[in-house]
Structure 1
Amino acid sequence: MSHPVASMCRQRSSTPDQVWAPMLVNRPKRMSLSSSRVSRGGAARAPGAIVRRAGRSVKPRPRLDGRARARAVSRRHPILDFPREERMTYDIEIEDVEYLRHGDRPLLARLFKPRGSGPFPLVVELHGGAWCRGNRLNDSPINEPLAKSGVVVAALDFRMPPEAPYPASVADINYAIRLLKTRATALGSRPDLVGVLGTSSGAHQAILVGMRPHDRRYAAIPLPAGLPAADASVRCAVLCWPVIDPLARYHYVKKLKAGGPPYPEVVDRVLPCHDQFWQTEEAMAEGNPVQALERGERVALPPVLYLQGTRDQAHPRADLDRFVARYRAVGGEVELELFEGESEGFIIRNPSSPAAVRAVDKIVEFVRKRIW
């Protein structure tokens, strides 16, 4: 299936230095990935050391001593073997890098990197915003604790309307996964330790990329010459309140609006974004994880962690149930975690709440279990 974005993507050309020039937020000078700032792991800091993070300093939580660390890494899933308060906590470094450029428009990734010997799991994180809003900074309440648990996190910016409709953002994400695999060793990970995580519309794109890693439209942007070949397959997918069926959600919010006020505020927030990103209902049906399964499409089936609140009015429960049933029916694994009384975005809105803390713990456990 052809799409104008695919042909546009193929016209892009750049060199490895151009597509991956780390740009520290508090330092305007661009630097090469091969510089000493991005190394495999890095020397461990003393407990309580101050780490520069995106222009400000933070004091990390205390780490386990060497004996406890040795005991942890000798086990298959160290993050699961300790009570939460005794788990390893890594110092982390945070920096922004340019991973792709469309004309004069750079796309940035925010890297959250644990300091240590590795190799660590690497998770590509995708923000929500109804496909039309948001940026790589949105989900730091998830990304920072995940990185401190010993996971490299790359939170992406990607193209959105009005700049470009579907599937431009998915092509950017597919490219980023492939590029990160070629840079995984330098980041303290390995190409075979990559997963994906997203919130809301970002979670929709996460599972879409996970199910279709070899789709020609999504893989339309070539890697720079000289880099090794890599695909966009992932070891697992973490879905936080995903728009799992865009077409069903579109009909759901249109029906609410047609009934007149009062209706949930989410209706006016997301309805225009559906039209801007998808443009047609046919596209909503095509780029649709649930309907792809119901059509019998041959897809990859990475293990899924699915998190959602029971009072979420933006992501219909019926769509969740359809996806979980179909994914499991065709052989996929889904761990479903429902959070009683919580609405959409509960981790981001109140990261210190018991539900948010429990959700982040579930994410950490799942990633380490599936990728370690």
Structure 2
Amino acid sequence: MTAIGVSGVSGVLGLRPQAARAANAPAYNPGGQYDVSVSEVEFRRNAAGRMLMARIYQPKGSGPFPTVLDLHGGAWNNKDRHAEEPMDRAIAASGVLVVAVDLTLASEAPYPGSVQDANYAVRWLKLNAPKWNGSPSNIGVYGSSSGGHVAELLALRPHDERYSAIPLPQAPEVDASVAYVATRSPISNTFARFENAERRNREEMVKFNKIYFNPWETIHEANPQEILDRHEHVSLVPLLIMQGALDDNVLPEVQEKFAATYKAAGGTCEFHVFEDSPHEWVAKEGPQTDKARAMVKAFIARQLQA
């Protein structure tokens, strides 16, 4: 795990990921085939009074299995734990415990509400993964669209006191650090996406930004691209970005710039553009969706085997 300080000089926080994975990573074959059982448990009740749920995709086998946390998209204002069910099932069927959680919606609490949920979810999962035959070591994250934005913030700032504000009394010593992040169409530059929405007269996209980023200045404070541009002290875990070439929601050139900035800062970023694919191409079956599923599984395997 690489840390970048305000000077932009790289340093190391604890074990390098390669050493940690070699010591603790569970075995994983991305070509594995398992039956999957699906169950749900209560995750946490948010400040608005809604019980957030966790959906558990558990491979049927001896394990322990690698563990991945799924953070849903929905422009911070919509959707829930079911949003990426086909991807979650595909990953789980290869021998990964996948846990998809509800995130607080912007109408319930603005930023950093959903990031606090995600931070808590990592700690909660490190404590509870063994219940579902998952390994608490080397937990990864999969995030889509706004869930990808939350995943990037979670990984960049695992020890941010604002994000870790929700206590986990059963394991107060557990932190929210993760081993890797895989994303599909992540909002890696929040302000660039807002400007794109304004140019295209996407009134709902504009409105959703203003609900979530309240006060408005947080659209810059919580912008992964600007965080790197400011040379903040961050953690840089291996990152996968899958981007649709036809995406007019999160523009490919904006995503490409973020990937380049991440690598220039010292991180490992695999950036892949999917031809003839819009923002949410994985919602439909087809060759490009199959390719995305295979890419995520191969990425997970590389992180666990390095």
For this structure pair, what is the TM-score category when the shorter chain's length is used for normalisation?
Answer: 0.7 to 0.9
Matched, 1:241 2:185: yes
Which of these residues, 237, 246, 253, is aligned with residue 311 of structure 1? 246
- Correspondence list, 1:84-95, <5 A: 87-95=31-39
Does the aligned pair in 2 maintain the 1:121–1:368 contact within 8 Å?
no
Where structure 1 has 5 or more consecutive residues not aligned to the other structure, the ranges are 1-74, 80-86, 258-266
- Correspondence list, 1:46-125, <5 A: 78-79=29-30, 87-102=31-46, 104-125=49-70
Which of these residues, 175, 181, 194, is aligned with residue 231 of structure 1? 175
Offset at residue 120 of structure 1 (A): 1.2
The total of aligned residue pairs comes to 279
Offset at residue 254 of structure 1 (A): 1.0
SS in 1 for 2:118: helix
User: After TM superposition, where is structure 1 displaced by more than 4 Å over at least 4 residues in a row?
Assistant: none
The 2-side partners of 1:268 and 1:368 are apart by: 41
SS in 2 for 1:179: helix
The 1-side partners of 2:271 and 2:256 are apart by: 10
Q: TM-score, normalized by length of structure 2?
A: 0.87
The 2-side partners of 1:163 and 1:76 are apart by: 40
Q: Which residue of 1 aligns with 2:235?
A: 300
The higher-RCO structure (CA 8 Å, 6+ apart) is 2
CA 1:116–1:228 in 2, change beyond 3 Å: closer, same or farther?
farther
Offset at residue 304 of structure 1 (A): 0.6
The 1-side partners of 2:27 and 2:56 are apart by: 26
The 2-side partners of 1:120 and 1:284 are apart by: 37
The 2-side partners of 1:342 and 1:236 are apart by: 24
The 1-side partners of 2:198 and 2:256 are apart by: 21
The 2-side partners of 1:319 and 1:280 are apart by: 24
Which of these residues, 136, 139, 146, is aligned with residue 194 of structure 1? 139
Q: Which residue of 2 aligns with 1:254?
A: 198
The 2-side partners of 1:360 and 1:272 are apart by: 32
- Correspondence list, 1:1-372, <5 A: 78-79=29-30, 87-102=31-46, 104-224=49-169, 226-227=170-171, 229-257=173-201, 267-348=202-283, 350=284, 352-371=285-304
SS in 1 for 2:232: coil
Does the aligned pair in 2 maintain the 1:241–1:345 contact within 8 Å?
yes
Does the aligned pair in 1 maintain the 2:256–2:271 contact within 8 Å?
no
Does the aligned pair in 1 maintain the 2:28–2:304 contact within 8 Å?
no
Offset at residue 248 of structure 1 (A): 1.3
Offset at residue 327 of structure 1 (A): 0.6
SS in 1 for 2:73: coil
CA 1:76–1:180 in 2, change beyond 3 Å: closer, same or farther?
closer
CA 1:160–1:76 in 2, change beyond 3 Å: closer, same or farther?
closer
Task: Render the CA deviation track for 1:53-91: whole Å, top value 9, x for unaligned.
Answer: xxxxxxxxxxxxxxxxxxxxxx97633xxxxxxx32111
SS in 1 for 2:54: strand
Aligned-residue RMSD, C-alpha: 1.6
The 2-side partners of 1:152 and 1:283 are apart by: 33
Q: Which residue of 2 aligns with 1:18?
A: none
Q: TM-score, normalized by length of structure 1?
A: 0.72
The 2-side partners of 1:282 and 1:194 are apart by: 32
Where structure 2 has 5 or more consecutive residues not aligned to the other structure, the ranges are 1-25
Q: Which of 1 and 2 has greater Rg?
A: 1
Identity %: 37
Q: Which residue of 1 aligns with 2:23?
A: none
Does the aligned pair in 2 maintain the 1:247–1:281 contact within 8 Å?
no
Task: Render the CA deviation track for 1:286-310: whole Å, top value 9, x for unaligned.
Answer: 0011100000001111101100111
Offset at residue 371 of structure 1 (A): 2.8
Of 149-158 and 187-196, deviating more is 187-196
